[in-house]
Amino acid sequence: MEKGNRLVELCRYLQDPHLVARFQRFCGVRGTFSRTGTTATGTGKESDRSRSHNNGACRRHIAGENDSGASAVTGAGEGEKTQTGSPTRVRRRDDDDADADANVATNRGEESEPPPRNGALVPGGETASATAKPLRRNSLTGDAGREFLIGNRFLYYMFTFGTELGNELFYITFFPFVTWNVDAFVSRRLIMVWVWVMYLGQCTKDVVGWSRPASPPVVKVEMFYNSEYSMPSTHAMSGTALPLSLLFLTYGRWEYPFTLGFSLALCWCLLVCVSRIYMGMHSVLDVIVGVLYSALILLFFLPALDLIDGFNVTCRCAPLVIVTLHLLLGFFSFNLDTWSTSRGDTAQILGTGAGVALASHVNRRLGLLPDAAPDQLPFATPALGAGLVGSALLRLVLGVLVLMATRALMKAVTLPLVCRVFGVPGGDARKARQHMEVELPYRYIVYGAVGFNVLFLVPLLFSCARLS
């Protein structure tokens, strides 16, 4: 019993937003919260409303609960207007604790500093090196966030790079690069791992429903994902799964020292995980659980890769199973919670996975991108040269252009078509995508086509143009 209480206390400590705020201050990030409780973008009333939403936390109230307005708030970010509707979830104790933490921080003046001008002296006597705002607006509310002070630019740029290792821009360049320039066999299996890890992580977020760290005291260096749930950190999950799986799939297939591969994988994982705390997007507990959860998934999934990949490539009924399975998984995840931007991300992930799996089956039938024979292994690591780097960059640029054209074309065609099929008004694309019957097939088809072209169309074009 005593050990259980200690574990609960430890979890509460690791979830405390003040722990995140202390780490941010240690790294030179300071907020510009006003002492009067007003924000840089609104009145004191708006600040209180923003704080009551826990700075973008998704929460709901019990029907008939005597909260002000008795409203159900879904995915409200800073400054977002509340939306009334049928409540679906009990207000969590963790949300109340987060609100209390925010109020305590405001009352005692923690991280509550007037925004000095660039280069002006702050109360501690330090010189503020720069002021900045989050690079991207909130994906749900459009909120740009508050300004903050950067005391260490090196750490700011390093952790910005680290957090980008878990964003869409990285995935749409990294996976194609590995496919077209390194090893298509490794790439398609790596994508399979990524799909399952990210899918389970997103579903778990919707089931647990924990909010992001409260601001104040936390400084929101990033705002894009602020209206999504927090536990576990899917950035930490992908930042653990991708490098470890890459090491698992390439060691013995390619010639390189294990210590080098493990060191790079460890640095990748640490950079992504720590960046999420630095950005104010996750508590320490979110990140730790994300790493452990990802490791647990890999423990069961990596030994089954040969069986799953073999089925996708060789079985005649594989295309039907692939399409049906990924659609059913999307339908299940879409019914876990109300609409949010994370639902679209889940559909994109499933569509990409289905497209890549279908392409691997078609490639086997047509003899495109054949797997290496056992006597050809292990591959020797080629020496870097101008010609090798130039050809790799050329393939990457041309291939990404094809993918961008594919995505633009499929978006232009699919959304109006799906809206017409299901009788949903398509004038406002954002509102139309809030309908599950539109969002799921739209994202699934668009990114299924992108994933298919990564492994089939682009390599076929390279083969015809003798760029393979």
Which are the catalytic amino acids? 235, 282
Residue 130 and residue 118 in contact, taking contact as beta carbons nearer than 8 Å = yes
Give CA separation, 326 vs 350, 388, 421, in Å: 6, 37, 21
Report the number of secondary-structure helices (H) and strands (E) in the chain: 17, 3
Among residues 159, 146, 76, 151, which one has the least CA distance to residue 112?
146
Distance CA 170, CA 177 (A): 10
Where do we find the tokens 């952790």? Answer: 159
Distance CA 65, CA 79 (A): 23
Distance CA 237, CA 276 (A): 11
Distance CA 264, CA 289 (A): 22
Dihedral pair phi/psi, residue 131, rounded to 5°: -110, 150
Residue 234 and residue 198 in contact, taking contact as beta carbons nearer than 8 Å = yes
Task: Give yes or no for a cis peptide into 216 (omega within 30° of 0).
Answer: yes
Residue 52 and residue 246 in contact, taking contact as beta carbons nearer than 8 Å = no
DSSP calls for 272-290:
HHHHHHHTTSS-HHHHHHH
Crossing angle between the packed helical segments 184-208 and 284-301, to the nearest 10 degrees: 130
Distance CA 257, CA 231 (A): 35
Contacting residues for 312 by C-beta, under 8 A, at least 6 apart: 318, 322, 357, 360, 361
